[in-house]
Amino acid sequence: MKQLPRILPFTKEHDDFRAMAADFFDQEVAPHHEQWEKDGIVPREIWAKAGSLGLICPNFPEEYGGAGADFLYNLIVIEESARVGASGFFISLHADVIAPYVLHHASDEQKQRWLPGIIDGTKILAIAMTEPGAGSDLAGITSTAIDKGDHYLVNGSKTFISNGYLSDLIITVAKTDPEKEINGISLLMVERGMEGFERGKRLKKIGLNAQDTSELFYHDVKVPKANLLGKKGYGFRYLMSELATERLVLAASSMRGCEVALEETLKYVKTRKAFGKSLGSFQNTQFKLADAATEVAAARCFLDQVILAFMRGDKVVVEASQAKLLCSELLKKTVDTCLQFFGGYGYMMEYPIARAFVDARVQSIYAGTSEIMRGIIASKGLGL
């Protein structure tokens, strides 16, 4: 499919890095993903392999094991992961969504303690926000972290936690001052093996079946004061400050997913015969795919503009919400359109388009639902 050159300033070094990342995902991830789907989990070894190649947090400082590179290197990893449909290996959640909380808000001692393992893939991250009774409304969380002098005593439960089963370091959102509502929320790093911290069952989902989404339970977990991330009571501010990045990352993954679905469908309709002709020769096929290609091309241009602004350091709260809304909804629409051309085969899980279809559904739910995105755009962008 013909595309205009992208406006992002990729260099030969970026291209070389992409070739290496592509080889990793082609050789180490794609051939095993079907088994990981059956197992409901990705093996820890793949994280360490990715870390050894510099695929985790390449934009982090060298003193902690990163490469001190620009965000385009992270973007390349996101795109190559999406290209092979690696929906179970949540490397971008770990590297681009959760790790920045440590980089931006942790103390020097905490960074030295946690970042090397985060970057080399031996310490897997999760962030525990959602609770059985609180999703998008963070003020509604009921988990508490009560000050006991030299430690906090954490109680509560979390659900729908990605990387929840594999994780070694869990940034836990809890109320240190329950009476202060959002101003009483803090972030605490709960570590694997802490007494009273338990993982529930790995949750069964309609998609993302290789992703270890889990329940987490906290029963009088003693979390040292040294594991408080940033300032007490600043948790909500920290969460809001990083959400734009999360939404941009998910938009990038959805965008590449759209392109891959379209590329694979174009290959299919050119070879699949019906009534003695290729599917691609029918006007309905041509018009549907022409519309899809146009929408995907337009979304790509907007997303890359937002990425450029993000890399310049511009505040992109509204634009990231627009990109997340646009690309996640477009992914659902595109894979649905494309699946139709595969007929009955499109409903068979052995065809990548089928897995793309079920995996796409959650994109407009997590990291802020499409409804939340519309609210942000209306209030912060349109002044309504």
d(CA 100, CA 173): 15
User: Quick one: tokens of 72?
Assistant: 């385009």
- The residue among 174, 166, 81 whose CA lies nearest residue 125 is 166
Q: What is the DSSP string of 64-129?
A: GT-----HHHHHHHHHHHHHTT--S--HHIIIIIIHHHHHHHS-HHHHHHHHHHHHHTSS-EEEE-
Please list the residues that pair with 247 across neighbouring strands: none
Residue 330 amino acid letter: L
- The residue among 297, 67, 338, 88 whose CA lies nearest residue 213 is 88
- The residue among 145, 151, 173, 171 whose CA lies nearest residue 222 is 151
Q: Which of 246, 259, 329, 371 is catalytic?
A: 246
Residue 110 amino acid letter: Q
d(CA 213, CA 87): 12
d(CA 263, CA 359): 18
Residue 332's CB is within 10 A of a number of other CB atoms, namely 19
User: Quick one: tokens of 114?
Assistant: 């946690």
Q: Dmax of the chain from CA atoms?
A: 78
- The residue among 186, 174, 181, 177 whose CA lies nearest residue 220 is 174
Contact predicate 187/230, CB 8 Å: yes
User: Quick one: tokens of 76?
Assistant: 């390349």
- Quick check: is 246 catalytic? yes
Give the angle 256-262-263 at the CA atoms, nearest 5°: 90
- The residue among 318, 264, 269, 270 whose CA lies nearest residue 296 is 264
Contact predicate 131/158, CB 8 Å: yes
Which sequence positions are flagged as catalytic? 246
